[in-house]
Structure 1
Amino acid sequence: MTTVAAQPDVRGSRRSGLLLGVAFMAGLDEIVFHQVLGWHHFYDHSTSAIGLLSDGLLHAAELMAIVAGIFLLADLLRARTFATAFFWAGLFLGLGSFQLFDGLINHKVFQLHQIRYNVMLPPYDVVWNVVGFLLLVIGAGMYRRASQTTLSP
């Protein structure tokens, strides 16, 4: 008796990578810039206690996203439908999406916090957003390459 190979789950693999990418970048931001360097809190327009609370809520959301992403990944692996290239593309898209959303929306539109205070801010903003954009470009390129490989005969 032969078994039919399961079709790779492109959407699920991409979704798992995207969720983990967003969560990893949120975690990196929260641990490095909020805790280790102490440059800012997620919400800086109140007391230190509120700043710490907002960091804790961000950390909790990031951990829930990591758990959800791992459950999605485990399900794909169990079903043998994991599409590696789409996962990696999703991961980089998630990393870049969080970085750019944080840099443009949280920092500039909502003004929840700045990257760093009491410094000349534009260089920090440029580096922050360029890194996010580059991660998105890498993810988009990986996704395009994976799509072309998958669609090729």
Structure 2
Amino acid sequence: MMETTNPASVSSQAQARENPLSYRPLILAGLVLGLGQGGFFDGIVFHQLLQWHHMFSSIETDMTIAGMELNTFGDGLFHLFDWLLTLVGIFLLWRAGQQAKDAWSGRVFLGALLLGAGLFNLVEGILDHHLLGIHHLKPGAHELLWDLGFLGSGVLLISIGVLLIQATMKESGTLTP
């Protein structure tokens, strides 16, 4: 049995090879926004709502006024960094939207956001929880398990993000981001 090929599909595939759309600006914007939002999630949920730790809680207890001042200052610096990442991500997203040659996809953008949030968890978890030891996700009993779970959530978010981006690129016939 002979397969028929849709001429419009062949034409659009040939045009895509000649003038490939790039997801790179959208991925970069989503990645930076994901890093900022991952930090905000960590700071709002773990530092403020659950109050499991503060930025320097393994260095100075938050049970004294001086310790609470240091930890509040550290949390403020942390949120400032998250805010700056978010502003840069918004600018990158705006700039990507100005380029007609760049591809747009909600699935690629979501994948990049998840990739950024996962990278945040992985990098922050390795640096702050394990290498520097300035705080743990949930100090006390089973703190290593909590810290490893945090790293695992980063790996999971990264994996989902990469799968979303790759699936969209495969469907669109794009070989590179």
TM-score between both structures, scaled by the size of structure 2? 0.75
1:115 partnered with 2:137? yes
Secondary structure of the structure 2 residue equivalent to 1:79: coil
The aligned residue for residue 126 of structure 2 is 104
* Aligned-partner Cα distance in 1 for 2:122–2:116: 10
Aligned residues: 148
Q: Work out the percentage of aligned pairs sharing the same amino acid.
A: 27
Shift of 1:83: 2.5
Range that drifts further, 28-37 or 140-149? 140-149
- Which has a greater percent of helix? 1
Distance in structure 1 (CA, Å) of the matches to 2:42 and 2:164 = 24
Partner of 2:113: 91
Deviation of the 1:93 alpha carbon: 0.9
The aligned counterpart of 1:143 is 165
Letter in 1 for 2:111: A
Shift of 1:48: 2.0
Give the whole-Å Cα distance in 2 for the aligned partners of 1:70 and 1:25. 15
Correspondence for 2:87 among 60, 67, 70 = 67
Q: Give the ranges of 4+ consecutive aligned residues of structure 1 lying more than 6 Å apart after TM superposition.
A: none
Distance 1:42 1:7 in 2: 44
* Residues 37 and 103 of structure 1, relative CA distance in 2, 3 Å threshold: same
Do the aligned residues in 1 keep the contact of 2:138 with 2:147 (CA within 8 Å)?
A: no
Task: Give the direction of change, closer, same or farther, for the CA distance of 1:125–1:76 in structure 2 (3 Å limit).
Answer: same
Q: Which runs of 5+ in 1 are unaligned?
A: 1-5
> Quick one: distance in 2 between partners of 1:120 and 1:74?
43
